[in-house]
Amino acid sequence: MARVPSVTRALLPAEAQPIYDEIAESRGQVSGPFPVLLNSPQAAVLVARLGHYIRFETGLEPWVYELVVLTAARELDCRFQWGAHEPQAARAGLRPEVIAAIRDRTAPAGFGEQDALLVSYVHELLRQHRVSQGTFDALRTWLGTKGLTDLTTTVGYYSLLASALNAFEVEPNPGAPLLPYP
């Protein structure tokens, strides 16, 4: 059970209910981190709007997006995020051995060039809080400046969600693949 209330539409004041409706409409439902983020409705809607852009408008290929999300989820040991995205990563074409390597913290050893580059970028950013010039230049050459900006924003967005999910102890959905505790 989460450490803070999971907010339903009925628990919100009337003036905040349109925020709930906007989140529900854009995502199909209010789930994941959003019931706890709705303890601050304005923060929740701004996070949801950024998430909509990241999920549907960046133009990042689905396998790139999911590889980055899984890597960020693992780096931040976010069980909910891992459980939600491991199946999506498989559907996006990530090979089981890539998913296992991220889960088991052996990535990017043995990865192809693009997979290794993406995982290295997330590792560098979240572990050292900086990205080496070589990794930066290689990704910029591949994705362009806009793509690299969207990729970096994706890492930040999923780090924000992982922070909320972890701080508020939101547990994975029943039956979701589990990420081992560190």
* Boundaries of every domain in the chain: 9-56, 62-166
C-alpha dihedral, 84 to 20 to 52 to 108, nearest 10°: -30
pTM (two decimals) = 0.95
Q: What is the DSSP string of 123-174?
A: HIIIIISS--HHHHHHHHHHHHHHHHHHHHHHHHHHHHHHHHHHHTTPPPPT
For 8, 18, 60, 85, 118, the CA distances from 24, given in Å and listed in that order, are 11, 10, 24, 19, 31
Could you give the angle at the alpha carbon of 70 between the alpha carbons of 2 and 22, nearest 5°? 55
Question: Is it the case that residue 115 has pLDDT exceeding 80?
Answer: yes
More confident residue, 150 or 171: 150
pLDDT at 182: 62
Taking the C-alpha atoms of residue 167 and residue 62, their distance in angstroms, rounded to an integer, is: 28
Q: Does residue 180 have a pLDDT over 80?
A: no
For domain 62-166, which CATH number applies: 1.20.1290.10, 1.25.40.10, 3.50.50.60, 3.40.50.2300? 1.20.1290.10
Which are the contacts of 51, defined by CB distance < 8 A and separation ≥ 6?
Answer: 27, 157, 161
Least trusted range by pLDDT, from 65-69, 160-164, 171-175 = 171-175
- The tens digit of pLDDT for each residue in 17-34 reads 999 999 999 999 999 999
Kindly state the percentage of the chain with pLDDT values over 70.
99
pLDDT band at 176 (very low <50, low <70, confident <90, very high): confident
pLDDT for the residue numbered 178? 83
**Confidence at 112, pLDDT banded by 50, 70, 90:** very high
Euclidean distance between CA atoms 44 and 46, whole angstroms: 6
Lowest mean pLDDT among 127-136, 146-155, 158-167, 171-180: 171-180
Q: In angstroms, how far is CA 178 from the centroid of its own chain?
A: 16
